[in-house]
Structure 1
Amino acid sequence: MSKTIEDIPKHQFEPAPKNSYDNEKIAKPQLSFTKDAWLRVRKNKGAVISFVILLFVVIMAIIGPYLSPHDGYAQDVTRANLPPRIPVLENWGIFDGSQEIGGTETNKYEDLNIEEYYWFGTDSLGRDLFTRTWLGTRISLYIALLAAVIDMLIGVIYGLISGFKGGRVDNIMQRILEVMSGIPNLIVVILMLLILKPGILSITLAMVITGWIGMARVVRGQVLKLKDQEYILASRTLGAKNGRLLFKHLLPNLSGVIIINTMFTIPSAIFFEAFLSFIGIGLQAPEASLGTLIEDGYKTFQFLPHLMIIPCIVICIILITCNLIGDGLRDAFDPKMRD
């Protein structure tokens, strides 16, 4: 039986008692810019999964060479070009060391009485490909991170000064950028190889000489946009000096742009290093990088595809995950950029 208005007690119609403390209470906690961006990143499943995968690759690059009992530089031509053989999986008929040669399937491990396991097989000199893959990943990541950090430092400082000073200083600094951006990276690499021996130092310097230009231009554009904002004018009116304006107000507001561009710089640097090593002007033997491993596997790809496929998979994972993380950070730090 439904109730009528007369059946409802009158005290339920009275307003709730007012409390000044409840009126001032904030229902939702205040979020900082960094925490708000982190919450947005967590909602991006692609970025989170990519970060986990990239973290796994980085950990394997650090500890991977120590997981295998074989030295990545030790040569044994009697065990050259062995196919992958993995415990447990060999019982399922995959990665059991068998391969097809001349239309006949053979097992080189049984033919040579080899009881040891080579998880990724061996190269043409009998070196363990598992160990060399992670050694090469370590070197490629090291070169990419070193180049990205140096590019970030030089580009941020150059862009801050150029955009903040403006006028004649900005014009001169931008003309210098235009001249340097007209120099192809490959020419710079060749010149560096004429001065220095091919190696990590020469490749890193070659990438750094012109790699910071993009960062400098992005930072300059953002500084020109932000330096006339009200909070900058208010700080200047209150007597803030240029150093405080740059490092206390402008730089924190540029952190999102800097992090995003740095994340996109890392895969570019890895690809550039792999390209140099692939064409033979990068790292030299016996040093290993993803580029040198791909170049070695390319020679025998038709007969031994695993020598090239494995490092290609690793470099593709790094490039894809870095780009997805960069996209996630871009959406988190500046949601308007998604449009």
Structure 2
Amino acid sequence: MTPAKHHRPDDANHLANDEVPSGYQKVETPQGVKIVREGPVSFVRRELAMSPNRQKLWEEHQGTTVLPVARSFADTSVAPESYLDVASVWGQDGPLIVDVGVGHGESTFAGAQAHPEANFLAVEVYRPGLAKLLDRVVTEDVINVRMVEANAPEVLDHMLPAASAQEVWVFFSDPWQKNRYHKRRLIQPKFLDRVARVLVDGGLLRLATDWSHYAAHMRDVAEAHVEFENLYPGRLAGNESPLTAARVQGTDDDNPMPEAQALDTLGGWAPRFDTRPVTSFEAKAQRAGRYIFDLTYRRVDR
């Protein structure tokens, strides 16, 4: 198995001392100038402790199933000179599916088993989750999965070539429920710019969430983006909409809305596609009475 390449073929130069990579900015602080990320990240960093067996497995598969990453400033960053040669890394010319924020990797694993002809890239910063996926991949001899421990926007910016992915999946990213944190939501116009760059013409962006407010936000952002079109316009509108039901029942905040005010006239909700499994996370949301929202957008032709 060929490891990932660190550098773009046409960029052998390192950053000058006064340059800041795309996605970062300089900030003046009482302690001096710091380099910080300028936009939403794909994660909340969590405890990285793993069992000895999984730690050993993780170390054994560095540079192969676990792709090497050139870093810039943070331990989950991706250096601007990074480059992923898809055909050589996977050893096959199949379509690339990028699964962002995979958690324990259930969706990646199910998709890879169902579509051995495709190349699956699991993007996650929670190393124990990736290690759990790695354990399943090795045990079941699933050979079309690679994983990268990194911030997804930087993976899209720096590792993936333009028009290299057939699909990008973002399932159950953090909804950041409080109003003051909405700017931290991953699904924002700039993130969709990144997704549009890496998708082939006609490629798909698949989204899912169990929070109705975030579902409406994701739909608003995607519907307004000129490079995406909804594959299911108008589907499940009005009284058939899960958004209408969630608003009437107040599933997000125990604050039910009057039916006339709750009515979702737009719809556009996608059916659950075949290989997306019911994860433990989703099952917990369903037990709590929340609805599941799927959205699917096509990258319009350039």
TM over 0.5: no
User: Relative CO higher for 1 or 2, CA cutoff 8 Å, sep ≥ 6?
Assistant: 1
Comparing both structures, which one devotes a greater share of its residues to strand?
A: 2
Comparing both structures, which one devotes a greater share of its residues to helix?
A: 1
Q: Normalising to structure 2: TM-score of the pair?
A: 0.21
